[in-house]
């Protein structure tokens, strides 16, 4: 008897050509399906909540799949983690209702884009964050991000994965900053970590990276706050900033219940 399973996945996407399976290229979906076939001796098709692009990471990706596995969720999680590559981890496995679908049942998705600001680049940081020499006007970037909240046509920032609808609802768009110095007195010339958090019902292809790139124009003074608002309403993608690097983008969590917690090791928590 086939059972529908739901699992939360964390991965470093650096060495992968995205989530969705591709011929002759390493993908997260491919690794997951390969692991499940080895464990269950079945051909198992995995569906993800978000089709992350090449080089993009995930802290709370959600997948669903059906299998006749009969040894329980804990054993399935252990078995998958034993055979998966070290840069992919199953954080949680649970049985789901027959109607649950990782993609179509999702109500909201949260992405986080990370930037580190400092005079000198850091090899230890730039695997997961884009380097900007700075200084950046984070307050102006935060005010501009406020224009994104609500229902808008986001054609200026991306293309629809299917069809022509470019209208999305952004529930939250904000910046978080913290100093990475070990001691407070080292913050005279600090390395700052800036994280752009955006939660929406769905996203266009390339939307978050292009928004982050355009907000960087605001932060460096090359685009005004009112100019950002006008660009959003223009629907002209040619006017947006260049997409930032994939290395800084992470699918943070997926929400399936407006009153419940997001996926991930410990819910949303603080960034």
Give the active site residues: 53
Task: Name 83's Cβ contacts closer than 8 Å, sequence gap at least 6.
Answer: 35, 38, 39
Nearest to 209 by CA among 177, 249, 173, 154: 249
Are 245 and 216 in contact by the 8 Å Cβ rule? The answer is no
What is the DSSP code (8-state) at residue 20? S
Backbone angles phi, psi at 34, to 5 degrees: -65, -40
Strands (E), the chain: 3-11, 47-48, 57-67, 88-95, 108-117, 130-132, 150-153, 167-179, 192-200, 249-255
What 3-state class would DSSP assign to 107?
A: coil
What is the DSSP code (8-state) at residue 262? P
For residue 173 the two structure tokens come to 């768009």
CA distances 31 to 21, 51, 60, 115, Å, are: 9, 14, 17, 29
């Amino acid at each position: 008897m086939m059972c529908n399973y739901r699992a939360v996945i964390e991965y470093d996407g650096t060495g992968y050509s995205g989530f969705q399976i591709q011929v002759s290229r390493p993908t997260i979906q491919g690794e997951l399906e390969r692991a499940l076939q080895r464990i269950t001796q079945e051909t198992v098709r995995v569906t993800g909540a978000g089709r992350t692009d090449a080089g993009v990471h995930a802290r709370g990706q959600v997948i669903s799949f059906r299998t006749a596995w009969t040894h329980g969720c804990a054993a399935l999680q252990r078995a998958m983690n034993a055979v998966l590559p070290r840069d992919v981890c199953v954080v949680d496995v649970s049985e789901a209702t027959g109607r649950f679908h990782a993609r179509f049942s999702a109500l909201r998705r949260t992405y986080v884009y990370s930037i580190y600001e400092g005079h000198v680049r850091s090899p230890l940081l730039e695997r997961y964050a884009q380097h900007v020499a700075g200084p950046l006007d984070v307050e102006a970037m935060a005010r501009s991000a406020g224009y994104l909240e609500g229902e808008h046509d986001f054609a200026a920032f991306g293309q629809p994965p299917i069809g022509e609808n470019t209208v999305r609802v952004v529930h939250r768009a904000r910046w978080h900053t913290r100093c990475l110095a070990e001691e407070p007195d080292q913050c005279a010339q600090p390395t700052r970590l800036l994280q752009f958090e955006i939660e929406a019902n769905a996203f266009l292809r390339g939307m978050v990276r292009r928004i982050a790139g355009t907000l960087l124009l605001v932060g460096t003074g090359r685009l005004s706050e009112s100019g950002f608002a006008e660009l959003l309403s223009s629907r002209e993608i040619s006017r947006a900033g260049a997409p930032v690097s994939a290395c800084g983008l992470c699918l943070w969590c997926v929400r399936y219940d407006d009153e419940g917690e997001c996926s991930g090791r410990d819910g949303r928590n603080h960034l």
